[in-house]
A and B are shown apart, each in its own frame.
Chain A
Amino acid sequence: NAGVTQTPKFQVLKTGQSMTLQCAQDMNHEYMSWYRQDPGMGLRLIHYSVGAGITDQGEVPNGYNVSRSTTEDFPLRLLSAAPSQTSVYFCASKFSPQTFPSSPLHFGNGTRLTVT
């Protein structure tokens, strides 16, 4: 099983450029989310989705957009990259929180993004 697949693994952007981080899962998970990981700060939630067509903001949503047109895919768009967005980005998914509250998040392998 592929699980949660993130592409690309590494990316370098110049300030002001835009890009999309891809995330796909094949576990039929209703819930999907994006986190960023910065040294000394753990992981912080950017955006999340409880199902196709439904998205909401997390703790640090500024500068990012998401959409959820299918159950499987949850891309993260950086609109105009800034050096402060240099980070490691993780996509994660799980079964419906309402039905399976104790089920864990399954994480992709991360995307390391550098903005110069």
Chain B
Amino acid sequence: AQKITQTQPGMFVQEKEAVTLDCTYDTSDPSYGLFWYKQPSSGEMIFLIYQGSYDQQNATEGRYSLNFQKARKSANLVISASQLGDSAMYFCAMREGRNTGKLIFGQGTTLQVKP
């Protein structure tokens, strides 16, 4: 069964608008972590934001925030005030369990920001 699902293969957003990238996950372990990475066309993987399963508040990092809905098993990435440089592939990933470095990745969402 798919552990991490990103249902939006591609998305468009107008520059300066906010955009939400969806991520749902499946795990029976009460301790897990969720990561978002950005992959620009140059190919490198850039870490954006982390949310732990026991974190009480939604994670935020600058223009990135995570809409964490534990009961729905969703961890959507919100990018505020989109910039042209936000055009990239975005991956959601889950660490299942506490003491592991293994990440399970979703299929990714390609975001294009229109001027």
**A50–B101 contact, CB under 8 A?**
yes
Residues of B at the A interface (CB closer than 8 Å) are 4, 33, 35, 37, 43-45, 47, 50, 52, 91, 93, 95, 98-108
Interface size class of A (residues with CB under 8 A): 20 to 34
A77 at the interface (CB under 8 A from B): no
B93 / chain A contacts, CB cutoff of 8 Å: 43
**B44–A105 contact, CB under 8 A?**
no
Residues of A at the B interface (CB closer than 8 Å) are 31, 33, 35, 40-45, 48, 50, 58, 88, 90, 92, 94, 97-98, 101-102, 104-107, 109-110
Closest chain B CB from A35 CB (angstroms): 8
Complex-state Cα separation, A105 to B46, whole angstroms = 9
Considering the complex, give the chain A residue whose CB is closest to the CB of B99.
A98
**A107–B101 contact, CB under 8 A?**
no
**B44–A33 contact, CB under 8 A?**
no
Contacts A88-B43, A102-B52 given; does A42 touch B91 at CB 8 Å: yes
